């Protein structure tokens, strides 16, 4: 019996740590993993929330959207195009496209 409790404690702590490292609630996932150690496997395979937050913000509805999104998936607002300087020919081109001047991948 004691051994089961220790196993659940370890699963709970591990679940909390994994959740925290992925930007999810460590308390929620810690408790869930404590009572259902199977949740540890679920949180382990869940995508990190941080990946979404490292995108950009919609200019209209302020929600987090993927960095290379042209249209906001929530409100359909067209996003301002990011222009960068081509390191090869020094012309200003759209990010994530090949340079229209020299064909260099950006
Ligand atoms: Zn939007
Ligand atoms: Zn170029």
Handedness of CA 8, 14, 18, 19 (dihedral sign): positive
62-77 pLDDT per residue, tens = 888 887 788 888 999 8
Residue 9 belongs to some domain of the structure: yes
* 94 within a domain of the structure (yes/no): no
pLDDT, the chain, mean: 84
Residue 76 lies in a domain: no
CA of residue 79 to ligand 1 center, whole Å: 8
Alpha helices in the chain (DSSP H): 2-21, 26-35, 38-45, 50-53
User: How many Å lie between the centroid of ligand 1 and the Cα of residue 67?
Assistant: 13
Whole-number percent of the chain with pLDDT over 70 = 91
Q: Which ligand is nearest to the CA of 88?
A: 2
Centroid of ligand 1 to alpha carbon of 20 (angstroms): 27
Flag whether pLDDT at 84 surpasses 90.
no
- Looking at the structure of the chain, the number of domains it has is 1
Give the structural domain span for 7.
2-51
pLDDT (average), residues 50-64: 73
- Give the model's confidence band at 105: pLDDT under 50 very low, under 70 low, under 90 confident, else very high: confident
The reply to whether 30 falls in a domain is yes
- For residue 103, tell me if it sits in a domain: no
Q: Which DSSP letter does residue 42 get? A: H
Ligand 2 centroid to 68 CA: how many Å? 20
In a domain, 35, yes or no: yes
Residue 20 lies in a domain: yes
* pLDDT score for 54: 60
Which ligand is closest to the CA of 93, given by its number? 2
Prediction pTM value: 0.45
Residue 59 domain flag: no
Cα-to-centroid distance, 96 and ligand 2 (Å): 13
- pLDDT tier, 1 (very low <50, low <70, confident <90, very high otherwise): low
Burial status of residue 70 (CB atoms within 10 A of its CB: 0-12, 13-18, 19 or more): exposed
**pLDDT tens for each residue of 28-53:** 999 999 999 999 889 888 877 655 45
């Amino acid at each position: 019996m004691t051994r089961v409790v220790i196993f659940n404690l370890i699963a709970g702590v591990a679940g909390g740590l994994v959740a925290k490292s992925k930007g999810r609630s460590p308390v929620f996932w810690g408790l869930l993993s404590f009572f259902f150690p199977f949740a540890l496997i679920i949180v382990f395979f869940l995508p990190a929330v941080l990946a979404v937050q490292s995108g950009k913000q919609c200019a209209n509805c302020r929600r987090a959207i993927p960095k290379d999104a042209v249209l906001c998936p929530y409100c359909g607002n067209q996003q301002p195009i990011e222009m960068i300087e081509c390191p090869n020919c020094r012309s200003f081109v759209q990010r994530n496209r090949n340079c229209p001047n020299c064909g260099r991948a950006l």
